[in-house]
Structure 1
């Protein structure tokens, strides 16, 4: 990311501060995640626990207490068989803590297969004893099975999350009290927050990059132009007007606002290659000799070289380097033709020629707008852009620096 390049422009303490603040902000929701995890465990696993208890009760009832063998053993008093079956229940089902036959308590109704009861935070299942067809029932006896809650949790793989305690802060199935532990999110949150902190710093670097880019393009550009105008007032004056013309033409052609803004800035810099050229050449009243002409023709290349030294001004290189190319290949420095010339460079070319024709020069007076556009229709410029220029001529009357409507439309 480009932001790393700008790290040298800020204090390391600021980077560390942003990193720590981002990590802190990311860690703040930790307790929320934990509470959500605990609530999820409490709600979802309470239902699962109840289902497990009901499944155990149904299995025991149908497997042992709705059966001719157990029914007739109780009727006949076959205690050995009864104890053998109850011992089998304790061995086969880890969640069963104890199982025995007792006299029916008053609160246990007949004709129900089983009833669950919670006493002092302990779970008990009472089973009525039937024959196979549930047509006969033992009226005075029931089987009492004590449930091992912790063993049932282990079977459900919940022992690490839930602990039964009479003083537990969370309610659970059947009115039981528990302590519920959330998931160990700390390591995940630290890693996640660290990554978010790094991303936050990178975003800060990117914002700084954009800020510096804006500075170079706007404030820095204004400072460059100020220094330029101090040494060569005419060229600075000319570039401002070219920028105005190019911006209005760009709008007329339907370019985006961002592109128009870039076009205006690029137009302002299009003659930056003239920096360093002797004012004697730039302000010469007569025609230039061959060497002087060669110096002037090199200003696009010189402008390209200058802009390459500014990271955020490189995108304006085509404006400075190609604005003297022409549609028929007669331009310079590369003799490009038609579609080989970028649209932006073509717009600058039209704006540059129009501004030059309608401004006073050391060797001639300005042409009127009408005269200038007639001349331009015969030049190897993009005539579609020239047409757009003609359409905005009324807007240019007062927009251009140093122009007056009367002089703009004068005809020789």
Structure 2
């Protein structure tokens, strides 16, 4: 319960309280917490209560707060819960509630490094069938390790940023040489991103048991993909220009503590994983995404049955001694379910462009200039009901790139 009025259907209920960075008018960007359709301006509230570290909420990113570690994260969450549930705090908080419609949301973290995984068996199987129809869809290593690649932290952008259609080399199936030009097969990837707070030590792997000591929370990720560029360049070293031009993330970071009510056991893995990836309490989260093309729902991918857990992704990321830093972001890879309307990319939804989607009377395959994509997501509780625990949304609109040369 909260003394703050929360509209019905709001993703930001009183148990959620995600953190983000906002700008109000000409004021400097700073940290706020979302509740209902409002933002709590945390810096003046913390200062009024003379909290240690109040100045951290006046920063233009969450990095300084994230670096404090789990005890401080938990103490801050308990403070926030008291602010919104204890009516005695009303006089302190109410003057610092700002409508979300009156603020501009910023990138919540300064991203240090970015890693993208490939953790959905349904997605990997679908792409295997598309790309290698005469072979086994999953490559031999896929069920032994969380496959991933290092991305470009500098091209991670805030939700609402326009996405410029990328250019690069692409080669038609009937051509003998490649051409250079704008991507004609621009796509999305529906993903869940994990935000690292506490850094690790170079040379010391992070165990699956220590996942929650390092990861603060999650954001929505749309890892835009140029499939024609990717198809020509990815052998033998994997994704490069087809992936590195832009990755959008949502503005609100939902804490793992808030998500705890939606945790579900990781599905069985066969064959058994190696010891460094094994654990007794590995979980996923019961989250359902919704993908909207120009305002029309086209897919609802489920996260809960993802093959690899976030703890295993972090353990594998650091297995060779690689360290993580405050602000690191790693993402799940495209999330797809077993049904056609649960696929998390247009290459799957349209089966390589051969089965167009009919949306508002128009056939769609890959993204066209002017298309707007919005991904939202909700978590569900142990009883299967939708919690007041939304992840907000991540949006981007496609704009034309430079002319072909």
TM-score bracket, normalised by the shorter chain, equals under 0.3
TM-score by length of 2: 0.17
More helix by share: 1
Q: Which has the larger radius of gyration?
A: 1
TM-score by length of 1: 0.16
More strand by share: 2
Higher relative contact order (CA 8 A, sep 6+): 2
